[in-house]
Amino acid sequence: MIKYDPKSLKAEEFINDAEIQETIKYAEENKNNMELINSILEKARPKKQGNGNVCQGLTHREASVLLACEDPEVTKKIYDIAEEIKLAFYGNRIVLFAPLYLSNYCVNGCLYCPYHIANKTIPRKKLTQEEVKAEVIALQDMGHKRLAIEAGEDPVNNPIEYILECIDTIYSIHHKNGAIRRVNVNIAATTVENYKKLADAGIGTYILFQETYNKEGYEKLHPTGPKHDYAYHTEAMDRAMEGGIDDVGLGVLFGLEGYKYEFAALLMHAEHLEAVHGVGPHTISVPRVKPADDINPEDFDNSIPDETFIKIAACIRLAVPYTGMIISTRENEQVRAEMLRVGISQISGGSRTSVGGYTEEERPHDTEQFDVSDQRTLDEVVSWLMDNGHIPSFCTACYREGRTGDRFMSLCKSGQILNCCHPNALMTLTEYMVDYAGEETKKKGFKMIDEELERIPKEKVKAIAIDNIKAIKESNSRDFRF
Ligand code: SAM
């Protein structure tokens, strides 16, 4: 039997099937063990330390017990602690981003993705640099500052040089007061050498969804193409970190395989990164399979109801408190609202998932990667966030100030979030209000900014933030940050 070792660099040792099966069994056996459950809940709770808060997080086994427990009172406690952690570490800020689809050429045979090679009906499209520029201008005109670029895997049509050229183009465009200040990258698993090139190009997070951690299921779902190689895909984050990328983003495509398996494995992956590189994942995404061109989610028999999905997010929040959590427009407004409460820290808004979609007047569907459930404009999402007490943030300061890897954790522990992330959110929200917001949103926004400025503890920081906000309103000065 293959032995479990979180420090190993071999996929099947750090994502170990026997350990996952044991974990699921342990969770099932202990799902009514209230003494154990209460001690796990207590462990997960944030504790005061100096001026800040600290959290221990949970192991994959502990978190799996919470996920298995069906007692509604325990579930409520999990949600309450998730919210407590979220407020302690992320406050009421929600970071906004948009995906940018560069190319849907793909040589893989992924059964859940409409870009799969056997799909002969979907129009194939790859943006030229001129088209990238037009898309980026459209995104800047919406107010976006942070993108996640997406592409199929195709060494001929989408080689690394193409991706790098697109990143350069994206960073170079400054339309009116617009700028894309952080480009996250979601492309197929690649070599250390290519990860080095991405790091040198100044990317933010390298995102790669595992899709499923279940090796057998993985191989069936990826019958052909380079993505078929489970080990190469699963070990990608180690290569990315070896290549100098500090921030990596994990994710599972929920609905493909059993969620208890995925949940335990996802946390094992986080534990592995921590054990080997001394820093866990920067983000975890929780996509669910959606209908798309020739894809019907009902073909996969592991779909999960909203309640389970929300509980998964809450349990992830307890297990890895310092890891950001992302939800996309695959989910509708109602699910997104619930997910925000239990710990999501980043959402996309105004997204188009087709290649070249942002420059089209009407939302195009022909090259879409998946159907978008939340079809509101960015301005509607911003306004809705504020109605629900969240501060929409366009901040990209951390990575630009070198606060990558585990430095967000230090910020939380030192209690400096309200003197750093909070004013950064307010300054970038002011940029949005001045440059892009509709009239109604503007009214709400300026009121929120004034109120939230009062919450900055350090008088000196507050005074600087007030001055900067004044400068943003009265001039074209932009991009202030702590
Ligand atoms: N091609 C790259 C790779 O292989 O990792 C990444 C880019 S792909 C455009 C981004 C992600 O979209 C995939 O990792 C997958 O999880 C997700 N995706 C694919 N088909 C989907 C569907 N039908 N519904 C929801 N998400 C889907």
Residues having CB within 6 Å of any atom of ligand 1: 112-113, 150, 152-153, 186-188, 208-209, 211, 227, 253, 287, 289-290, 292, 295, 330, 369-370
Whose C-alpha lies nearest to ligand 1, atom 3?
188
Give the end-to-end CA distance of the chain in Å, rounded to a whole number.
51
Q: Can you tell me which atom of ligand 1 is nearest the CA of 113?
A: 20
The position carrying tokens 């943003």 is 472
Sign of CA dihedral 255, 256, 261, 267: negative
Per-residue pLDDT tens, the chain, 482 aa: give them.
899 999 999 999 999 999 999 999 999 999 999 999 999 999 999 999 888 889 999 999 999 999 999 999 999 999 999 999 999 988 999 999 999 999 999 999 999 999 999 999 999 999 999 999 999 999 999 999 999 999 999 999 999 999 999 999 999 999 999 999 999 999 999 999 999 999 999 999 999 999 999 999 999 999 999 999 999 999 999 999 999 999 999 999 999 999 999 999 999 999 999 999 999 999 999 999 999 999 999 999 899 999 999 999 999 999 999 999 999 999 999 999 999 999 999 999 999 999 999 999 888 888 888 889 999 999 999 999 999 999 999 999 998 998 887 887 788 788 788 899 999 999 999 999 999 999 999 999 999 999 999 999 999 999 999 999 999 999 999 999 99
**Nearest Cα to Cα of residue 343 among 56, 93, 60:** 93
CA of 211 to the centre of ligand 1 (A): 8
CA of 30 to the centre of ligand 1 (A): 35
Whose C-alpha lies nearest to ligand 1, atom 4?
188
The pLDDT assigned to 50 comes to 87
Q: Can you tell me which atom of ligand 1 is nearest the CA of 292?
A: 23
Query: Which of 106, 112, 113 to mutate to test ligand 1, by most ligand atoms within 8 A of the CB atom?
Result: 113
CA of 113 to the centre of ligand 1 (A): 6
pTM of the model as a whole: 0.97
Helix-, strand-, coil-residue percentages of the chain, each rounded to 5: 50, 10, 40
Domain residue ranges in the chain: 89-403, 416-474
The phi, psi pair for 49, rounded to 5°, reads -145, 115
How many other C-beta atoms can be found within 10 angstroms of the C-beta atom of residue 39? 12
Which residue pairs from 449-452 have beta carbons closer than 8 angstroms and sit at least 24 positions apart in sequence? 452/391, 452/422, 452/426
Whose C-alpha lies nearest to ligand 1, atom 25?
289
Paired with 250 in beta bridges are 284
CA of 296 to the centre of ligand 1 (A): 14
Residue 415 DSSP one-character state:
T
The pLDDT assigned to 301 comes to 85
Q: Largest alpha-carbon pair distance within the chain?
A: 67
Q: CATH number of 89-403: 3.40.50.300, 3.20.20.70, 2.40.37.10, 3.90.230.10?
A: 3.20.20.70
**Nearest Cα to Cα of residue 88 among 58, 55, 66, 43:** 55
Q: Report the C-alpha gap between 277 and 272 in whole angstroms.
A: 8
Reading the block at residue 310, the tokens are 């929300």
Whose C-alpha lies nearest to ligand 1, atom 20?
113
Q: Can you tell me which atom of ligand 1 is nearest the CA of 106?
A: 1
The pLDDT assigned to 347 comes to 97
Sign of CA dihedral 100, 104, 105, 111: positive
CA of 358 to the centre of ligand 1 (A): 19
Q: Can you tell me which atom of ligand 1 is nearest the CA of 295?
A: 23
The pLDDT assigned to 416 comes to 86
